[in-house]
Amino acid sequence: MIRLDTISKRNGHRVIFIEASAALLRGEKIGLVGPNGAGKTTLFRLITGQEPPDEGQVLVDRGVSIGYFNQDVGEMDGRSVVAEVISGAGPVAEIGAELAELEAAMADPDRFDELDTILERFGEVQAHFESLGGYALEGRAREVLHGLGFAQSMMDGDVGRLSGGWKMRVALARILLMKPDVMLLDEPSNHLDLESLIWLETFLGGYDGALLMTSHDRAFMNRIINKVIEIDGGTLTSFSGDYEFYEEQRAQNEKQQQAQFERQQAMLAKEVAFIERFKARASHAAQVQSRIKKLDKIDRVEPPKRRQTLSFTFPPAPRSGDAVATLRGVDKRYGERVIYRGLDLLIRRQERACVLGVNGAGKSTLLKLVTGTSTPDAGTVTLGGSVKMGYFAQHAMDLLDGDRTVFESLNDAFPLAAQGSLRALAGGFGFSGDDVDKPCRVLSGGEKARLVMALMLYDPPNFLVLDEPTNHLDIATKEMLITSLQDYEGSMLFVSHDRHFLAALSNRVLEVTPEGLHRYEGGYSEYVARTGREAPGLHE
- Mind listing the pLDDT tens digit for each residue in 19-49? 999 999 999 999 999 877 788 889 999 999 9
pLDDT band at 57 (very low <50, low <70, confident <90, very high): very high
User: pLDDT tens, 122-148?
Assistant: 888 888 777 767 777 888 889 999 999
308 burial level (CB within 10 Å; 0-12, 13-18, 19+): exposed
User: pLDDT tens, 477-494?
Assistant: 888 889 889 988 899 999
Closest CA to 468 of 190, 159, 242: 190
pLDDT number for residue 131: 75
Domains of the chain with bracketed CATH: 57-245 (3.40.50.300), 251-296 (no CATH), 323-531 (3.40.50.300)
Concatenate the DSSP letters of all residues of 89-116 into one string.
Answer: STHHHHHHHHHHHHHHHHT-GGGGGGHH
Closest CA to 340 of 365, 370, 357: 365
The three-point CA angle 186-169-494 to 5° equals 90
CB 475 within 8 A of CB 498: no
Average pLDDT of the segment spanning 454-475: 89
Highest mean pLDDT among 70-79, 292-301, 320-329: 320-329
Q: Please name the residue ranges forming H helices in 31-136.
A: 40-47, 81-86, 91-106, 115-131
Q: What distance in Å separates the CA atoms of residue 486 and residue 342, rounded to the nearest whole number?
A: 33
Closest CA to 484 of 335, 313, 362: 313
CB 56 within 8 A of CB 7: yes
Q: Is 400 helix (H, G, I), strand (E, B) or coil?
A: coil
pLDDT number for residue 11: 84
pLDDT band at 198 (very low <50, low <70, confident <90, very high): very high
pLDDT band at 314 (very low <50, low <70, confident <90, very high): confident
Q: Is 146 helix (H, G, I), strand (E, B) or coil?
A: helix
Task: Give residues with Cβ within 8 angstroms of 144, minimum separation 6.
Answer: 85, 173, 176, 177, 203
User: pLDDT tens, 358-380?
Assistant: 888 899 999 999 999 999 999 99
Q: What distance in Å separates the CA atoms of residue 453 and residue 271, rounded to the nearest whole number?
A: 51
- What average pLDDT is seen over the chain? 88
Q: Is 68 helix (H, G, I), strand (E, B) or coil?
A: strand
CB 209 within 8 A of CB 185: no
In terms of pTM, does the model score above 0.75?
yes
pLDDT number for residue 500: 94
Chain-centroid distance, C-alpha 6: 28
Average pLDDT of the segment spanning 170-195: 91
Which of 98-107, 229-238, 466-475 shows the lowest mean pLDDT across its residues?
98-107
12 has a pLDDT exceeding 60: yes
Polymer length of the chain: 540
The three-point CA angle 215-217-220 to 5° equals 90
Average pLDDT of the segment spanning 508-523: 92
Q: What distance in Å separates the CA atoms of residue 56 and residue 42, rounded to the nearest whole number?
A: 15
83 has a pLDDT exceeding 90: no
454 has a pLDDT exceeding 80: yes
Q: What distance in Å separates the CA atoms of residue 1 and residue 76, rounded to the nearest whole number?
A: 31
Q: Give the pairing of strands 227-232 and 235-240.
A: antiparallel
538 has a pLDDT exceeding 70: no
Task: Give residues with Cβ within 8 angstroms of 396, minimum separation 6.
Answer: 452
> Dihedral angle at the C-alpha atoms of 525, 528, 531, 537, nearest 10 degrees?
130
Task: Give residues with Cβ within 8 angstroms of 167, minimum separation 6.
Answer: 73, 76, 159
pLDDT number for residue 308: 64
Q: What distance in Å separates the CA atoms of residue 51 and residue 66, rounded to the nearest whole number?
A: 15
The amino acid at 418: A
Q: Is 419 helix (H, G, I), strand (E, B) or coil?
A: helix
pLDDT number for residue 407: 94
pLDDT number for residue 306: 65
Higher-confidence residue of 450 and 91: namely 450
Highest mean pLDDT among 63-67, 84-88, 356-360, 501-505: 501-505
> Dihedral angle at the C-alpha atoms of 487, 493, 498, 500, nearest 10 degrees?
30
540 has a pLDDT exceeding 50: no
